[in-house]
Chain A
Amino acid sequence: MDEARPEEEQVNAAGVVGDALQGASMDSDEALVRSARQGDFGAFERLFERHRVMVFRIAYRMTGRRDDAEDITQDAFLKAYQNLHRYRDEARFTTWLVRIVTNLATDRARMANRRHSLEQQEAGGALDWMTVGTTREDPSENLEREQMARLVQAALAELPPHHRLMIVLRDLEEKDYQEIAGIVGTTVGGVKLRVLRARRALRDKVNQMLEKTP
């Protein structure tokens, strides 16, 4: 019995540590996914609340329209819920989720590429940005930032969807190359090349717009 006590204490100690680790990992995305797979919809609700803004931002930058972005956000989480059994733990949940979003947003952007109706949304977004956005000391600098934000947004809307996706993921969402490679399904070197080309395309597009502007 006495010999067994240290082993029991060791087991208990290990159990405490394991519980602590388990408690910490219980909050991870992967643990929530496992719970959601077993029918715990509350776990999926937590995933939704955690990532909905990020999903919406990507969708909005890709489509340029708020209503489209909200539709894509809902569709993306619906698809994620319906395909939770297909998610593998090798990749991060956000990578898997962003892949769903980018696929939906790219399809929507391709369909809406000819519509060219971003002006109204941009005007509304500019108004929101002016009221809620960051404040600077210099009003003229604020005005220039606002103008450039609208210009870059318009240039983004005219880029091909694959270039737009690179700018959104790398320069707006600040994803690292490894994660982007997992999202688009290519190598890190390939992602770097794509980002470089996308940035050049964006700069050329902005330059063209600036030349047209009196």
Chain B
Amino acid sequence: MKFGRDRSVETGEEWGADSVSRKVQMGLDALRCEPLEPSVSIEALKGRILQETLVAPRRPAWVWATPVAASLAVAFWLGLAVRPAAPVAEALPKRTASVAPVERHGSLGAASQPAVRAASPPEAGSPAAEAPPRNVDAPSGAVALRGGREGGDPVVVSRSSAMLASGLRPEQDAAPAEQVQTLAAPPEPPAQSQDSEEQIVLIHSTEDTETGAASAVELESSANVLVGG
């Protein structure tokens, strides 16, 4: 039996005479004769067309991406253009706090109230000139302050009497640990021992090795000073 009505003549293709081929042809004939009526109407299609044409089509990505990219480019360029050539911190005048070296004093008052002054003298009328000198670690008693290099950052080393007594080092200490010599024992009253006057705390900053011995801060405090006697 040929497949289909007259197509087998055209193609030369034949279905076999087997039962499967006959059944397939029977099924195809039945499907071909099956009435199929769609429920799609022209009104529905018209509404769909109107809906598709009236709704604004989606804009392509470049429509919104271009202005955004342009804005970002302008903002980036402005950021580069406005940025100063030198950092602000370098452009400002330097004022380095320094403390005069503490001379050997016999009294607590001179040692406990070191004057903090600026490396560059403040202009007249400026707040810095009118402000009273800072009192660094005034209540603690023993203070060791020194100025570093001219123009460099100040190194302020303060030690309270309790620290000196216990041998603790403040975390702010800029000197290496091996360069700080502290008393292992708490200072004794002067009346009991004269050797306590030789208890000197030498604090060598790392900058001292660079700038010389002149910039070293030497704190000499006697037991009398430490105890306020």
Contacts and interface: CB of A to CB of B under 8 A. Distances in A.
Nearest to A46: B42
Given A145-B27, A192-B11, A69 B33 contact: no
B104 interface: no
Given A82-B52, A202-B24, A48 B45 contact: yes
A133 B35 contact: yes
B42 A45 contact: yes
Secondary structure call for the A interface = helix
SS of B interface (majority): helix
Contacts of A153: 27, 31
A53 interface: yes
Interface in B3-54: 3-4, 7, 10-11, 13, 15, 20-21, 23-24, 26-40, 42, 44-46, 48-49, 52
B38 A70 contact: yes
Interface size class, chain B: 20 to 34
Nearest to A82: B52
A53 B38 contact: yes
Interface of A: 41, 45, 48-49, 52-53, 55-57, 60-61, 69-70, 73-74, 77-78, 81-82, 125, 128-129, 132-134, 144-146, 148-153, 167, 170-172, 174, 177, 192, 195-196, 199, 202-203, 206-207, 210
21 contacts: A49-B42, A53-B37, A70-B40, A74-B44, A82-B49, A82-B52, A129-B34, A133-B30, A133-B33, A133-B34, A145-B26, A146-B30, A150-B27, A151-B23, A153-B27, A167-B28, A171-B28, A171-B32, A172-B28, A196-B13, A206-B23
